[in-house]
Structure 1
Amino acid sequence: MKLNWGTSIVIAFVLFIGFIMVMVVQMMSSAELEHDLVVESYYQKELTFQEDLNSAQNAADLEHQVTVEVVSEGVQIIFPSAFDFSEIQGEVYLYRPSDKALDFTVQLHLEDGEYVLPRSLMEAGIWKVNLKFTHQNQAYLIQKKISI
């Protein structure tokens, strides 16, 4: 049987569509490739986006910055001495991009200008730290990417 150019084009299209279908099925059924949203309540989070931007700007405008760093004990958060520690209220949200089951939130309880999240709470890998706190009715948001 002799193939003409029309039959060759149809065969090429069928092979291409078959290849694409195999790739789609493979990608959708793979347990390694989770297709989750970053946050569950995406639209609710979008409503507070401007507040988060304002809080992040407040943190950037501080004369002495709040530091978030990895130390041997875990993640250390150091507040400037200009802050009255008894007036700081807030939480630390740790987000693990690779596995949302590891995400957790910790309430800030300060006895001095330093707070340490124990390393035992976190598995090794990349984490995103979101520190939200208020001081004298002013909201602050600090976001940092760390590696444990």
Structure 2
Amino acid sequence: MKMNWGTGIAIVLGLFIAFILYFVIRISTEEKYDFDLVTEEYYKKELVFQKEMDDEANSSTLKSNISGKKIPEGWMLTFPENIDYSKISGTVTLYRPSNKKLDFEIPLKLSSSELLIPDERMVPGRWNTIVQWNYEGEDYLYKKEITY
């Protein structure tokens, strides 16, 4: 059988497409390549977006907002000094965009103006820190992307 250059190009193109499809199927089915880029119930969260904007606006009216820094024991969140930390309630959510299995939530029960998130819970990489808190009937929201 004689093969011309057109048949050769068609064979090479077919092999290339098969090669690409092999990797696409392999990456989409294997667990170690599983990346979740959105949160659960994404559309429900979009419905409360205006409340989040209002809560963030409330946070900007404070003399100082929450600050975070890495220390050897973990991630330290420091609440504003001019408020009574015992009246604060809410939650701290750490969201890992690349792996939803690492996401966790901590209820706010402060014994000082600082909250330590232990080093054991934090895997190196990018995290979204979301602190939803209430102080004297007013809701506040702090969002920060951190690299731990």
Structure 2 length-normalised TM: 0.80
Task: In structure 2, give the amino acid aligned to 1:79.
Answer: F
Deviation, structure 1 residue 48: 1.3
Structure-2 residue corresponding to 1:124: 123
The answer on whether the counterparts of 1:134 and 1:140 sit within 8 Å (CA) in structure 2 is: yes
Query: Aligned-pair RMSD on alpha carbons?
Result: 2.3
Aligned pair count reads 146
**Residues in 2 aligned to 1:35 and 1:75: alpha-carbon distance in whole angstroms:** 24
Percent sequence identity is 34
Q: Deviations over 1:48-93 (max 9, x none)?
A: 1222222223223422121122222322222222212232111111
**Residues in 1 aligned to 2:71 and 2:113: alpha-carbon distance in whole angstroms:** 16
Structure 1 length-normalised TM: 0.80
Unaligned runs of 5+ in 2: none
Deviation, structure 1 residue 109: 0.7
Structure-1 residue corresponding to 2:27: 27
**3-state SS in 2 of match to 1:94:** strand
Deviation, structure 1 residue 125: 0.7
The answer on whether the counterparts of 2:36 and 2:97 sit within 8 Å (CA) in structure 1 is: no
**Residues in 1 aligned to 2:24 and 2:112: alpha-carbon distance in whole angstroms:** 54
Unaligned runs of 5+ in 1: none
